[in-house]
Amino acid sequence: MEQNFDICVIGGGIQGAGIAQAAALSGLSVALLEKSDWGAGTSSKSSKLIHGGLRYLESFEFGLVRESLKERRILLNIASDIVKPNWFYLPVYKNSQHKSWQLFAGLSLYRILAGRKNLAGFKRLPRAQWKQLNGLNTADLETVFAYQDAQTDDRALTRRVALSAQSHGASLLCPATVISAEKTYKGYSVRLNLNGDSKTIYCRYLVNAAGPWINPVAKTITPTPPMVDVDLVQGTHLEFTEQLSDRCFYLEAQQDHRAIFVMPYKGGTLLGTTEKVFSGNPDQVNPSPEEIEYLLEVIRYHFPHFNHKPIKAWAGLRVLPSGDKTPFSRSREVQFAESENYLAIYGGKLTGYRATAETAIKRVIKSMGLEKRRRVQDSSKVDI
């Protein structure tokens, strides 16, 4: 096995896979190291939406929404068999926090930010069509909007990106747990447990894309690199065998006005998600009974006839900036921590992985002083 690389990327989630792909496309030798399985972390526990994030307009994250909508268009092109458009129905009730005029304004802005030929249309459903909405509770219902976004299989997407990296020359190592890393005069030596064996590999540049494990991994590096102060926020989903609809619903939780999605999933239904600050070992995140009850209350309120039991519940961890705001109102923008020959990627969205990878690899190439010799190849035309 090769022992020397330009770059080692720790973490085979969507961010690590994206960065490995961008590095390989730029002609750099790269090793992608994953301790468990491709996409086994947060990248298989998301809501599986490739979306601009309508609700981020409320927190004025226009740049994030515009970039995500652009990435949505690209992914619909380069991964059309696993990124599919769908309609989302958004009911507005008398007691909804967001009023019809506000949602109309938000959807209009969403359409503008998406640009032309990018699933941009939305409509108000005539009252006569409400009864076709899979038993949606129509008591005190004022308006139903319909707009488009996209769904994917997050784990499959991550695998595809990792395989694309491999096809462009990246070395994929799994199961490969990074135990520690030490700065040398040339870059880093990285100690691994590779398939049960101890192994050391060397790289000029180290990328930490370990998702919720990012700071525990950073603490195993000598000297300790800069870290961003973050909270881990768990989000639970419930899976049902019964299909509520082949369309998606964007609901406002009656308990606390948060956004909840109901989506078709593997012939059944996926419902999520929650936000609960997590402190503990990211390997041991589990849905709590309160989260499950909260989600069941939301679906029972909106679809009183849908009284099925979920067959599965799982939780994933968001990496969000720490602070006093509720998790729901904290920024979803990606953050970087950087020092000599080291870059760490905090947070971000599944949807934006390609743009994040491009930004990251530009920083890496600049910091390695390779700008004259390596050009970042545009991955927006590379099918995955």
Ligand X SMILES: Cc1cc2nc3c(=O)[nH]c(=O)nc-3n(C[C@H](O)[C@H](O)[C@H](O)COP(=O)(O)OP(=O)(O)OC[C@H]3O[C@@H](n4cnc5c(N)ncnc54)[C@H](O)[C@@H]3O)c2cc1C
Is residue 207 at the binding interface for ligand X, with CB under 6 A as the rule?
no
Among 229, 196, 236, 194, which Cα is nearest to 215's? Answer: 229
Check residue 41 for interaction with ligand X (CB under 6 A): yes
Interaction with ligand X in 157-176: which residues (CB under 6 A)?
none
- Taking the least distance from each CB to ligand X, the nearer of 91 and 348 is 348
Q: Is 215 in the site for ligand X (CB under 6 A)?
A: no
Q: Specify whether the CB–CB gap between 89 and 249 falls below 8 A.
A: yes
47 binds ligand X (CB under 6 A): yes
Helices (runs of H) and strands (runs of E) counted in the chain: 7, 19
Q: Under the criterion CB under 6 A, does residue 40 sit at the interface with ligand X?
A: yes
What does DSSP say about strands 342-346 and 197-208: parallel, antiparallel, or unpaired? Answer: parallel
Distance between CA atoms of residues 84 and 67, nearest Å: 18
Q: Which amino acid is at 244?
A: L
Contact 165, 20 (CB under 8 A): yes
Burial label, 266 (beta-carbon count in 10 A; 0-12, 13-18, 19+): exposed
Stretch that binds ligand X, among 45-53, 106-114, 119-127, 291-299 (CB under 6 A): 45-53
Q: From the CB of 129, what's the least distance to ligand X, in Å? A: 27
The residue (of 107 and 317) whose beta carbon lies closer to ligand X is 317
- Residue number closest to ligand X, CB atom: 13
- For the bound state, the minimum distance from the C-beta of residue 164 to ligand X, rounded and expressed in Å, comes to 15
* In the block, residue with structure tokens 């700065």: 183
When asked if residue 287 is in the footprint of ligand X (CB under 6 A), the reply is no
- For residue 25, the surrounding DSSP H or E stretch is helix 14-25
Stretch of 31-39, 55-63, 195-203, 287-295 lying at the interface with ligand X (CB under 6 A): 31-39
| Exposed e or buried b per residue across 37-65, where buried means at least 16 C-beta atoms within 10 angstroms of its C-beta | ebbbbbbbbbbbbbbbbbbbbebebeebb
Task: Give the binding-site size for ligand X (rule: CB under 6 A).
Answer: 37
Q: Which of 9, 83, 119, 178 binds ligand X (CB under 6 A)?
A: 178
- Give me the sign of the Cα torsion angle 181, 182, 183, 188: negative
Asked whether 218 and 343 are in contact (CB, 8 A), the reply is no
Q: Which two tokens stand for residue 343?
A: 């870059």
Non-local (6+) Cβ contacts of 220 within 8 A are 178, 179, 180, 181
Residue number with CB closer to ligand X (17 or 244): 17
34 binds ligand X (CB under 6 A): yes
Decide: is 30 part of the binding site for ligand X (CB under 6 A): no
72, 111, 302, 349: which one binds ligand X (CB under 6 A)? 349
Closest approach, Cβ 8 to ligand X, in A, equals 10
Question: Measured between alpha carbons, how far is residue 205 from residues 16, 240, 322 in Å?
Answer: 14, 44, 27
Contact between 91 and ligand X by CB under 6 A: the answer reads no
* Interactions with ligand X, residue window 5-24 (CB under 6 A): 10-16
- Residue 330 or 374: the one with the smaller Cβ distance to ligand X is 330
Q: Residue 55 or 349: which CB sits closer to ligand X?
A: 349
Smaller CB separation from ligand X, 143 or 315: 315
Q: Which is nearer to ligand X, 156 or 370 (CB)?
A: 156
Q: Decide if 288 contacts 276 (C-beta within 8 A).
A: yes
Q: Does 211 bind ligand X (CB under 6 A)?
A: yes
Q: Can you name the residues that pair with 188 across neighbouring β-strands?
A: 183, 203
Helix or strand (DSSP H, E) at 207: strand 197-208
213 lies in the site for ligand X, by CB under 6 A: yes
Told to check if 360 binds ligand X by CB under 6 A, we report: no
Under the rule (CB under 6 A), what is the footprint of ligand X? 10-16, 33-36, 40-43, 45-49, 177-178, 209-213, 217, 235, 273, 316-318, 348-351
